[in-house]
Amino acid sequence: MSSIEKGIIHDHIYSSNSKREKDCNQLKISSNKNDNSFENHRRTIRKKCDIQTDEDREEYFRRRTLNNTSCRVSRIHRRSKLEITMKKCMEYEDLNAKLIAQTSLITQVIDLLKEHLRTSISNNLQQN
């Protein structure tokens, strides 16, 4: 292993890719040794390196197409939910600004009423 590989082996992307390559290579080696064992069982095709026949290729591309379609639908739903959330956020921010303005107006009215009450009470006390 070179010093560069040692330096990047900790990164999960590189380590998982090298593991996948080793798994694919092991599968190819074992499939060459035991060709009869694969004929008896329906093989699962999970990676591109698992493709060995035209039927495997068709199955792989069918599954990839299905996955791509479902990912596209998932992205559309996620974007629409994000848009709805952003609209609600903007509505709540506007409502919050209105409520803050209303609160400050009510606070000013209360302060004026308190001041008026203080002056009227002090005037009544001075008159009596």
Model confidence pLDDT, tens digit, residues 37-61: 444 455 676 666 777 788 888 888 8
Pick the range with the lowest mean pLDDT from 29-33, 89-93, 122-126.
29-33
Q: How many CB atoms lie within 10 A of CB 3?
A: 7
Longest dimension (CA), the chain: 116
* C-beta separation of 50 from 56 below 8 A: yes
CA distances for 78 relative to 64, 68, 92, 106, angstroms = 21, 15, 21, 41
Q: Looking at 29-33, 44-48, 99-103, 116-120, which range is the least confident one?
A: 29-33
**Reported pTM:** 0.47
* d(C-alpha 97, C-alpha 104), whole Å: 11
Tokens at 118, concatenated: 């203080």
